[in-house]
């Protein structure tokens, strides 16, 4: 990114570095039951206390036997069976003898002395005898103890956000509770005299257009929904009027409880509102012009004992700055180990308009066509047009210095993740 070509604008990566440099991750921990652990962040690594599988077991329905006895046509006596949950117990307590076999089912423990399982389709059975149709290879069709998870190994690292698959994995080693960081507390408010709340009266629907000059507050429902993906505690402080006393009271209330306060609106220069004045009075907040489109105005800093993020009011600017700057910050604060997002390379399926100066996060639709990543514009790119963002499945990331893109040019794409859907 070329900072020099955009005087006064802060590159996105540098804004993120400044945010990381100030934030301090949570340290408080708690134990949670596995059933409540989805999307929590591990505060310590989880090591396996047992092997998975716990013992050598069969990968097939068939017969367990000694490979040393096998050759095509060899005959064996079936002396018992081993079922999942019901291992074979030899009457004598001895290991399997020469030319003896045990009927075995998938998942059942391999009897002592056996070193191979032959599929039932590869033997001919008559009474309690089987004859092999083919030779076998030692170790065939046996899942070894510890093959999946070795006892003592680190299964999940500290800082891992627990997924549904992790829950399955943890259950497989018998873990019923995990130590996680407590959930972040996030307070949220929207600002603007033009904003209308949704009516919650039964059966109400917005059939009539709002009165002149008013708009429905879409940022707050959007952010509440997006924050739910991050498993944080949310305090919704509602719509705050462009009024210095109301704003002061709301920000004070928010900062008493919250680790992070998020507001939308009122952070651009030349605003008629008082957000900036109040924040300057209550906290140590920087007002940035970030070299990104949408989303140039952005505020970040200390508010009370927590942190403040001020997002621009236009719904797409709100969504994109939240996703690009606030989500990584919240994940970092929540104790999560972050890995860099993967960029894809795609071919522009159509021409894309772009002015040099800021990094564009255009709303795109990514498709695979004849094995190739192709990306198209999702529609109007104005920062007020939320419908094209809802249609999109990716950002088309166009570098700051880049100009118009012709169809067929290569572009970078970031597919939407669960934090922006």
Residues at the contact surface with ligand AMP, assessed by CB under 6 A: 190, 192, 194-195, 215, 217-220, 264-266, 268, 271, 312-315
- Residue 267 or residue 334: which is nearer to Mg ion going by CB? 267
How far apart are CB 313 and ligand AMP at their closest, in Å? Answer: 3
Neighbour-count burial of 194, counting CB atoms closer than 10 A to its CB (0-12 exposed, 13-18 middle, 19+ buried)? middle
List C-alpha distances in Å: 57 to 112, 130, 143, 148, 170: 11, 21, 5, 12, 21
How far apart are CB 159 and Mg ion at their closest, in Å? Answer: 37
Q: Which of 266, 283, 295, 312 binds Mg ion (CB under 5 A)?
A: 266
- Residue 246 or residue 347: which is nearer to ligand AMP going by CB? 246
- Residue 241 or residue 282: which is nearer to ligand AMP going by CB? 241
- For residue 330, what are the contacts with CB-CB under 8 A and spacing of at least 6? 184, 186, 230, 232, 260
How far apart are CB 352 and ligand AMP at their closest, in Å? Answer: 24
Other CB atoms within 10 Å distance of the CB of residue 97: 13
Q: Is 315 in the site for Mg ion (CB under 5 A)?
A: no
With CB under 5 to 8 Å by kind, the binding choice for 140 among ligand AMP, Mg ion, none is: none
Paired tokens of 133: 């149709």
- Residue 100 or residue 381: which is nearer to ligand AMP going by CB? 381
How far apart are CB 189 and Mg ion at their closest, in Å? Answer: 12
Q: Considering only 84-92, 205-213, 273-281, 298-306, which stretch makes contact with Mg ion by CB under 5 A? A: 273-281
Angle at 93 between CA 91 and CA 95, to 5 degrees: 110
How far apart are CB 191 and Mg ion at their closest, in Å? Answer: 6
Bridge-based pairing of strands 75-82 and 100-104 is parallel
Residue showing tokens 């391999």? 110
- Residue 259 or residue 273: which is nearer to Mg ion going by CB? 273
d(CA 134, CA 118): 9
- The answer to whether the CB of 118 falls within 8 A of the CB of 136 is yes
With CB under 5 to 8 Å by kind, the binding choice for 195 among ligand AMP, Mg ion, none is: ligand AMP
**Cis ω for the linkage preceding 294 (within 30 of 0):** yes
With CB under 5 to 8 Å by kind, the binding choice for 215 among Mg ion, ligand AMP, none is: ligand AMP
């Amino acid at each position: 990114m070329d900072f020099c070509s955009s005087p006064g604008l802060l590159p996105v990566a540098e804004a993120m570095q400044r945010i990381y440099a100030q934030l301090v991750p949570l340290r408080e921990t708690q134990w949670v039951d596995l059933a409540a652990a989805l999307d929590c962040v591990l505060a310590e690594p989880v090591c396996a206390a047992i092997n998975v599988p716990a013992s050598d077991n069969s990968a097939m329905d068939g017969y367990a036997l000694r490979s040393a006895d096998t050759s095509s046509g060899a005959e064996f006596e079936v002396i018992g069976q081993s079922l999942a949950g019901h291992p074979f117990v030899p009457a004598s307590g001895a290991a399997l003898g020469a030319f003896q076999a045990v009927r075995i089912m998938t998942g059942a423990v391999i009897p002592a002395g056996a070193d191979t399982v032959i599929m039932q389709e590869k033997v001919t059975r008559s009474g309690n005898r089987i004859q092999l149709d083919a030779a076998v290879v030692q170790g065939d069709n046996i899942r070894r103890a510890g093959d999946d998870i070795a006892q003592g190994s680190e299964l999940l690292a500290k800082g891992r956000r627990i997924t549904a698959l992790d829950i399955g994995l943890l259950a497989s080693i018998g873990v019923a509770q995990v130590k996680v960081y407590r959930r972040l507390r996030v307070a949220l408010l929207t600002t603007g005299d033009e904003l209308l709340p949704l009516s919650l009266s039964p059966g109400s629907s917005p059939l009539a257009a709002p009165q002149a000059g008013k708009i429905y507050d879409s940022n707050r429902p959007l952010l509440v929904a997006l924050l739910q993906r991050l498993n944080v505690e949310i305090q919704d402080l509602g719509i705050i009027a462009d009024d210095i006393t109301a704003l002061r009271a709301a920000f004070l209330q928010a900062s008493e409880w919250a680790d992070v306060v998020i507001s939308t609106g009122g952070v651009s220069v030349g605003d008629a509102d008082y957000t900036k004045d109040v924040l300057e009075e209550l906290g140590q907040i920087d007002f940035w012009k970030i070299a990104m489109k949408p989303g140039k105005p952005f505020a970040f800093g200390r508010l009370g004992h927590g942190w403040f993020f001020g997002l621009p009011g236009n719904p797409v600017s709100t969504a994109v700055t939240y996703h690009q700057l606030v989500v990584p910050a919240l994940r970092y604060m929540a104790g999560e180990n972050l890995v860099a997002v993967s960029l894809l390379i795609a071919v522009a399926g159509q021409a894309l308009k772009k002015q040099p100066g800021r990094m564009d996060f255009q709303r795109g639709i990514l498709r695979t066509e004849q094995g190739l990543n192709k990306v198209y514009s999702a529609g109007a790119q104005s920062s007020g047009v939320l419908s094209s963002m809802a249609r999109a499945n990716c950002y088309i990331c166009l570098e700051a210095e880049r100009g118009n893109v012709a169809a067929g040019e290569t572009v970078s794409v970031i597919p939407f993740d669960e934090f922006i859907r």
